[in-house]
């Protein structure tokens, strides 16, 4: 029996293209490469044994989680073996006193949130792909999502990690301790590393008090600057501001038009809209007057022109379904070049003006569409083709939109990859836009931890 099959068992060593092709397809469908072999280990010991075997054979390794990443990180480049973490899905421990949960890397984000909820605690990570993305995947891409303005990105939620290194050694750093100043915080090297330094096999994550009451509003604003003023108001409103999403009229109108069961929360007469959610841990907290008073003051101060507060759980759920459905509903209208940048929050209005001016000059036939997380300056901007345009033709014509937006973001003091990572699609931007000293330190770390450059080759780092 092949060495790998002996480690994971023949049923979990896939070599037929009919079985492996699925693991080499990008979520967006634009990149694919059939892996030669996919291994599905059951535990950390099996992962370690696979790494030893791969090292002995000089084989490259591609980690795969829920494969919802948007940068082609799990699509292999060159001969390699893919390690899919789907069978490693145990909740190892929930500790409501330490406010922590320890889980296998293959656990789906939503199941971790459910396990925390059963212990009356909150695991706050929340984003459109949470029903498919794995904990190992969100750690490896340092995902952000809707609640990052209150709880931070995944980097802020990780207390400890278990890592299998490229040579098969296991770094057991699954710590629940909140303070630990014993030298370098090694876990941070692996968070956001996209599988280029080692394989995350388990994590200890922070929990928070469960949110028992919440209020949600859909608000119409005239300008991004008005939305920023409203954001500042809501941050000091007296309740936890757990979401402040921001989008353009075309995005929301297409979502309502192409989705199911959606209606206009307010007449869509302004260019911009916000979805705001406040919450509290105490079941008796009176959030409605807080939201009403703040929105009334915002209307008075011309920060917004209309607002609808969700009167029922159904309406609240519809608002969030609408938010999560925007990628699917807008893409029905035509292909788009998507971006994932962040700028300092205060710079968002000027940045959006620059993007609109630049695209009007270079691609006047395209539609600029925006949706994102205003609270952390991460607005996903895309340029949609006129209806009826084929994807290839639009990529040919407007493919440069991504780089142009990235350059504007970096010039505004921001980042060319806010929450989706680098994968293989942004390696070129790393070479062009990343600080050269930072890049040389990254190469030094990579060659120390992975001297044979076998971990997820072709991802994150440009050739050194
Ligand atoms: C509809 C939709 C909405 C999204 N919304 C958001 C959002 O709001 N905010 C946000 O931040 N992101 C968002 N994303 C993208 C997000 O980055 C991914 O969904 C998620 O973080 C990746 O998790 P995954 O398990 O699918 O990882 P994968 O796609 O499987 O992998 C991603 C990368 O991590 C590596 N990797 C995976 N598992 C491991 C492991 N155990 N050890 C080492 N490396 C590993 C892979 O090799 C790859 O390079 C969205 C995606 C979709 C499809």
Residue 253: C-alpha distances to residues 35, 111, 161, 223, 266 (Å): 40, 32, 42, 17, 11
Q: How many CB atoms sit inside 10 A of residue 299's CB?
A: 14
Q: Is residue 366 part of a domain?
A: yes
Residue 362 CA, distance from chain mean position: 29
Closest atom, ligand 1, to C-alpha of 127: 8
Q: Clarify whether residues 63 and 97 are in a common domain.
A: no
Residue of 125, 140, 194 best suited for mutating to test ligand 1, as the one with most atoms within 8 Å of CB: 140
Determine the distance separating the centroid of ligand 1 and the alpha carbon of 382, expressed in angstroms.
20
Domain final position from 153, 186, 209: 209
394-to-71, 304, 391 alpha-carbon distances in Å: 19, 35, 5
Residue 202 pLDDT class (50, 70, 90 cuts)? very high
Supply the angle between the helices 313-331 and 249-258 in degrees, to the nearest 10.
100
431 within some domain = no
| Segment 66-120, tens digit of pLDDT | 999 999 999 999 999 999 999 999 999 999 999 999 999 999 999 999 999 999 9
Mean pLDDT of 262-276: 97
Domain hosting 396: range is 336-420
Q: What was the pLDDT predicted at 29?
A: 81
| Nearest alpha carbon, ligand 1 atom 27 | 137
Residue 439 counted as domain residue: no
Which of residues 152, 178, 209 is at a domain's end? Answer: 209
Rounded-to-integer distance, Cα 190 and Cα 412, Å: 28
Q: Read off the pLDDT band of 2 (50, 70, 90).
A: confident
Q: Same structural domain for residues 219 and 200?
A: no
Closest atom, ligand 1, to C-alpha of 163: 42
* CA of residue 62 to ligand 1 center, whole Å: 14
Q: Answer yes or no: do 296 and 260 share one domain.
A: yes
Centre of ligand 1 from the C-alpha of residue 419, in Å: 9
Ligand 1 atom nearest to CA at 154: 11
Residues 147 and 170 in one domain: yes
37 lies in some domain:
yes
Residue 441 lies in a domain: no
| Residue 255 shares a structural domain with residue 240 | yes
Q: Are residue 118 and residue 201 in the same domain, yes or no?
A: yes
Domain shared by 194 and 255, yes or no: no
Residue 296 in this model has a pLDDT that exceeds 90: yes
Residue 167, SS3? coil
Which protein residue's CA is at the shortest distance from atom 41 of ligand 1? 136
Query: What pLDDT is stored for residue 331 in this prediction?
Result: 86
* 1 pLDDT above the threshold of 80: no
Label residue 33 by pLDDT band (50, 70, 90).
Answer: very high
Q: Could you give the number of structural domains in the chain? A: 4
> Over 60: is that where the pLDDT of 131 sits?
yes
Q: What's the whole-model pTM score?
A: 0.96
Residues near ligand 1 (Cβ within 6 A): 27, 62-70, 73-74, 85, 105, 127-129, 133-134, 136-138, 140-141, 143-145, 194-195, 199-200, 327, 419-420, 423, 456, 459
Does the structure show a pLDDT above 70 at 445? yes
User: What is the reported pLDDT for 464?
Assistant: 79
- Is the predicted pLDDT of residue 195 greater than 70, yes or no? yes
Report residue 261's pLDDT band, with 50, 70 and 90 as the boundaries.
very high
Give the helix/strand (H/E) hosting 380.
strand 378-384
d(CA 116, CA 207): 7
Note the pLDDT tens digit of each residue in 378-388: 999 999 999 99
Say which CATH number the domain at 20 has: 3.30.43.10
pLDDT of residue 15: 96
Shared-domain flag, residues 109 and 198:
yes
Residues 203 and 238 in one domain: no
CA distances from 229 to 200, 222, 298, 377 (A): 40, 12, 9, 14
Q: Are 233 and 303 in contact (CB under 8 A)?
A: yes
Residues 72 and 16 in one domain: yes
36-68 confidence digits (pLDDT tens) = 999 999 999 999 999 999 999 999 999 999 999
**Structural domain includes residue 199:** yes
CB 371 within 8 A of CB 379: yes
What is the CA(192)–ligand 1 centre distance, in A?
10
**What was the pLDDT predicted at 30?**
82
H helices within 58-184, ranges in order? 109-118, 135-141, 148-151, 154-157
Residue-level pLDDT at 83: 98
Whether residues 140 and 182 fall in one domain: yes
Of 40, 61, 84, the one marking the end of a domain is 84
Q: Ligand 1 centroid vs 197 CA: distance in angstroms?
A: 16
Evaluate whether residue 222 is within a structural domain.
yes
By most ligand atoms within 8 Å of CB, the mutation choice from 129, 149, 174, 455 for ligand 1 is 129
Q: Look up residue 179 and give its two tokens.
A: 């303070």
**Tokens at residue 261, please?**
């069961």
Nearest CA to ligand 1 atom 28: 67
Whether residues 220 and 320 fall in one domain: yes
Whichever domain contains 146, its CATH number is: 3.30.465.10
Q: Hey, which residues does 329 pair with through a beta bridge? A: none
**Can you say how many angstroms the Cα of residue 363 is from the centroid of all Cα atoms in its chain?**
28
Q: Whose CA is nearest to atom 47 of ligand 1?
A: 63
Does any domain span residue 386? yes
Q: How far apart are CA 255 and CA 252, in angstroms?
A: 5
Is pLDDT at 5 greater than 90 in this prediction?
A: yes
Residue 156: per-residue pLDDT:
98
Mean pLDDT of 396-423: 96
Q: List strand residue ranges (DSSP E) for 15-147, in order.
A: 37-39, 60-64, 80-84, 91-95, 100-104, 121-122
Q: Kindly report the CATH number assigned to the domain that includes residue 405.
A: 3.30.70.2740
pLDDT-based confidence at residue 391 (cuts at 50, 70, 90): very high
């Amino acid at each position: 029996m092949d060495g790998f099959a002996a480690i994971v068992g023949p049923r979990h060593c896939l070599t037929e293209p009919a079985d492996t092709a699925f693991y080499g397809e990008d979520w967006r469908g634009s990149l694919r490469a059939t892996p030669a072999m996919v291994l599905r280990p059951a535990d950390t010991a099996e992962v370690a044994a696979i790494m030893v075997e791969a090292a002995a054979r000089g084989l490259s390794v591609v980690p795969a989680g829920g494969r919802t990443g948007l940068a082609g990180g799990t699509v292999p480049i060159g001969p390699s073996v893919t390690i899919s973490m789907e069978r490693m899905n145990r909740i190892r421990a929930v500790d409501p006193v330490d406010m922590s949960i320890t889980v296998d890397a293959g656990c789906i984000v939503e199941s971790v949130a459910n396990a925390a909820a059963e212990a009356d605690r909150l695991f706050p990570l929340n984003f459109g792909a949470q029903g498919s993305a794995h904990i190992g995947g969100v750690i490896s891409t340092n995902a952000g999502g809707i609640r990052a303005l209150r709880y931070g990105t995944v980097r802020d939620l990780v207390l400890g990690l278990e890592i299998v290194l490229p040579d098969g050694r296991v770094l057991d750093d699954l710590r629940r301790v909140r303070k630990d100043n014993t030298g370098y915080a090694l876990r941070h090297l692996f968070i956001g590393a996209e599988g280029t330094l080692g394989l995350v096999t388990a994590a200890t994550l922070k929990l928070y008090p469960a949110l028992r009451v919440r209020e949600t509003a859909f608000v119409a604003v005239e300008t991004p600057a008005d939305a920023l003023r409203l954001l500042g108001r809501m941050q000091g409103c007296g309740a936890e501001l757990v979401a402040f999403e921001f989008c353009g009229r075309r995005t929301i109108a297409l979502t309502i038009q192409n989705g199911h069961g959606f209606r206009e929360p307010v007449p869509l007469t302004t260019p911009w809209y916000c979805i705001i959610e406040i919450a509290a841990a105490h079941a008796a907290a009176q959030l409605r007057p807080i939201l009403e008073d703040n929105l009334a003051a915002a209307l008075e101060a011309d920060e917004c022109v209309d607002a609808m507060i969700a009167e029922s759980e159904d309406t609240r759920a519809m608002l969030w379904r609408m938010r999560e459905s925007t990628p699917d509903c807008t893409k029905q209208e035509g292909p788009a070049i998507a971006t994932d940048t962040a700028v300092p929050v205060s710079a968002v209005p000027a940045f959006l003006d620059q993007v609109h001016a630049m695209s009007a000059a270079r691609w006047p036939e395209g539609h600029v569409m925006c949706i994102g997380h205003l609270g952390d300056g991460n607005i996903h901007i895309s340029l949609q083709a006129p209806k009826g345009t084929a994807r290839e033709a639009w990529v040919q014509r407007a493919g440069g939109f991504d780089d142009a937006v990235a350059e504007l973001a970096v010039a505004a003091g921001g980042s060319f990859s806010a929450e989706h990572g680098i994968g293989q699609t942004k390696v070129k931007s790393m070479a062009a836009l990343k600080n050269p000293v930072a890049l040389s330190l990254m190469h030094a770390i990579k060659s120390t931890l992975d001297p044979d450059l076998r971990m997820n080759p072709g991802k994150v780092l440009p050739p050194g």
